[in-house]
């Protein structure tokens, strides 16, 4: 379980999150949706223990989220965090050495699924293939929390749909919480159980996706347009 308790996060005079409280449960895929600068990445970094709240608490599986929480959290950042001189297989080996839950057999399977050459140098990869490699590194772990920040950035729209569907094969719905922060709503809509709309550092709405469809007759995109228009 993930819990935010009255979390304020400030960067100097700028407010990243403003008195945010929510709880996320194991076994669900959440969409964290909002415009640029709304607080999506800050939220994920707090869960990953890469930054700390100015006030309030962030708890992951009953523990305060700090750098040690990386053992429980797999975080795919929007930024490139690669050693440029490494080959793809070197990056796989490096992750395997850092995380006890990293499954080499799954990583090899994912490399084939993503059509990545393990012997190719990272600096020679296209933006799309670098994005695929980040997905491999995150999904090869058996962490209880999986954070995906703009995971489909740079991917060819022609292959994005098949990759999104393939994600389902590598998610453990019994034991994982998955949070996807993205602008690519069309492809991921069928994956999501719940959506949280964030704007100006505040969670302004939260809904079960099934309720949106059945009770209000709205797709996630239609709901977002209404929410942010208001």
Query: Which value, in Å, is the radius of gyration of the alpha carbons in the chain?
Result: 17
> pTM higher than 0.95 for the full model?
no
pLDDT given at position 72: 93
Cβ-contact 23, 32 below 8 angstroms: no
Whole-number Cα distances in Å, 150 to 40, 79, 80: 10, 9, 12
pLDDT given at position 230: 58
In CATH terms, the fold of domain 2-229 is Rossmann fold (3.40.50)
**Domain spans, the chain:** 2-229
* H or E stretch at 129: helix 127-139
pLDDT given at position 197: 94
The Cα–Cα gap between 225 and 188 comes to: 17
| Per-run averaged pLDDT (10 residues), the chain, 230 residues | 96 94 95 91 96 96 92 88 87 94 95 94 90 92 94 78 81 91 81 93 94 91 84
Name residue 57's beta-bridge partners.
5
pLDDT given at position 64: 94
Cβ-contact 84, 40 below 8 angstroms: no
């Amino acid at each position: 379980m993930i819990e935010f308790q009255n979390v304020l996060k400030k960067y100097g005079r700028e407010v990243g999150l403003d008195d945010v409280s929510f709880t996320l449960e194991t076994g669900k895929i959440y969409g964290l949706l909002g415009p640029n600068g709304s607080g999506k990445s800050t939220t994920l970094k707090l869960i990953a223990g890469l930054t700390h709240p100015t006030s309030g608490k962030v708890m992951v599986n009953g523990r305060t989220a700090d750098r040690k929480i990386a053992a429980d959290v797999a975080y795919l950042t929007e930024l490139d965090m690669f050693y440029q001189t490494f080959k793809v297989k070197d990056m796989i080996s490096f992750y395997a050495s850092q995380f006890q839950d990293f499954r080499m057999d799954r990583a090899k399977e994912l490399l084939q699924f993503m059509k990545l050459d393990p012997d190719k140098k990272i600096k020679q990869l296209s933006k799309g293939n670098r994005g695929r490699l980040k997905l491999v590194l995150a999904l090869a772990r058996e962490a209880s929390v999986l954070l995906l920040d703009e995971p489909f950035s740079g991917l060819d729209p022609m292959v994005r749909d098949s990759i999104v569907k393939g994600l389902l094969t590598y998610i453990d719905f019994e034991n994982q919480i998955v949070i996807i922060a993205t602008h690519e709503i069309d492809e991921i809509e069928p994956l999501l159980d719940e959506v949280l709309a964030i704007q100006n550092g505040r969670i302004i709405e939260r809904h079960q996706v099934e309720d949106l469809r059945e009770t209000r007759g709205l797709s996630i995109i239609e709901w977002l347009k209404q929410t942010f228009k208001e």
